[in-house]
């Protein structure tokens, strides 16, 4: 699921768990991901990508058959700065699935799941344009696993 999304592959994300309606992803800390060199804090766009990808995987884990999806809306609340030098975890849960839209809640942490540094709400289109995305091409070829 990482291999077909070049941005996630470049960031070094790893899928740790996928279960019914949920997913957990790890992003290993690297100096090149730092957006605030004075404090060593990871760039906010990297955290957005982590939670967006975890959310998308939770949607995939909710579908009876794989379909292309697209992020419609993603709202992140940064609760505090992530501790420098630590791997980041993102976990998402698809709490509602309709014919065309999936709804997701997600959190990111580095200390533990009970101490998140970011929370997220997202909506995803189910059955998005199947002709252009790398993931859509992988789904068509049967190589999404």
CATH number at residue 125: 3.10.129.10
Q: What global pTM score does this model have?
A: 0.84
Q: What is the pLDDT of residue 36?
A: 81
Is 1 domain-assigned? no
d(CA 79, CA 25): 19
CB 78 within 8 A of CB 53: no
CB 84 within 8 A of CB 136: no
d(CA 51, CA 43): 13
Q: What is the pLDDT of residues 88-141, one digit of tens each?
A: 999 999 999 999 999 999 999 999 999 999 999 999 999 876 665 565 566 666
Identify the domain containing residue 23 by its residue range. 6-141
Q: 118 forms bridges with which residues in the sheet?
A: 78, 108
Could you tell me the pLDDT band of residue 5, with boundaries at 50, 70 and 90?
confident
Return the DSSP state at 116.
-
Domains of the chain: total: 1
Please give the residue that has the higher pLDDT: either 23 or 37.
Answer: 23
Is 16 domain-assigned? yes
């Amino acid at each position: 699921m990482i291999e077909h999304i070049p941005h996630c592959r470049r960031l070094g994300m790893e899928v740790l768990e996928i279960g019914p309606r949920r997913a957990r992803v790890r992003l290993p800390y690297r100096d090149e991901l730092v957006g605030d060199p004075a404090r060593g804090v990871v760039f906010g766009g990297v955290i957005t990508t982590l939670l967006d990808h975890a959310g998308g995987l939770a949607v995939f884990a909710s579908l009876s058959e794989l379909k292309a999806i697209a992020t419609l809306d993603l709202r992140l609340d940064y609760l505090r700065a992530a501790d420098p030098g630590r791997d980041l975890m993102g976990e998402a849960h698809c709490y509602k699935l309709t014919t065309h839209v999936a709804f997701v809640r997600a959190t990111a942490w580095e200390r533990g799941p009970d101490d998140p540094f970011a929370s997220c709400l997202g909506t995803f289109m189910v059955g998005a344009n199947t002709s252009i995305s790398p993931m859509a091409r992988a789904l068509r070829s049967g190589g999404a696993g």
